[in-house]
Amino acid sequence: DAKTTQPTSMDCAEGRAANLPCNHSTISGNEYVYWYRQIHSQGPQYIIHGLKNNETNEMASLIITEDRKSSTLILPHATLRDTAVYYCIVRVAPRYGQNFVFGPGTRLSVLP
């Protein structure tokens, strides 16, 4: 069963911020939000994850709403190399299992 809803595709101009939304209205208290991306023909790559608080790393920022029913992945300065399919995944912490379920994701096209 899909736990997340994402737009099928998005465009973003190179150099601008890319904001990728994800809806997870049925998220439970012990479930984390993960983001992965898959560049054409490669294996998926981990980007970031979070539980309640906003998170930032060298790749992106993750903004989770206070009610945790949705989140946004932000790529602050998108480049052509960021063109990929982005997956938002909701799952419990590792000590409860390791089942990552990938939905169809959002196909982000960064345009020159």
Partner 1 sequence: DAGVIQSPRHEVTEMGQEVTLRCKPISGHDYLFWYRQTMMRGLELLIYFNNNVPIDDSGMPEDRFSAKMPNASFSTLKIQPSEPRDSAVYFCASSLTTSGGDTGELFFGEGSRLTVL
Binding residues for partner 1, per CB under 8 A? 32, 34, 36, 38, 41-46, 49, 51, 87, 91, 93-95, 97-105
Smallest distance, Å, CB 33 to partner 1? 11
**C-beta separation of 53 from 61 below 8 A:** no
- 33-48: b or e for each residue (b if 16 or more CB lie within 10 Å)? bbbbbbeeeeebeebb
Whichever of 13 and 46 has its CB closer to partner 1, that residue is 46
Per 3-state DSSP, the chain is made up of helix, strand and coil in percentages (nearest 5) of 5, 45, 45
Whichever of 43 and 112 has its CB closer to partner 1, that residue is 43
Whichever of 12 and 90 has its CB closer to partner 1, that residue is 90
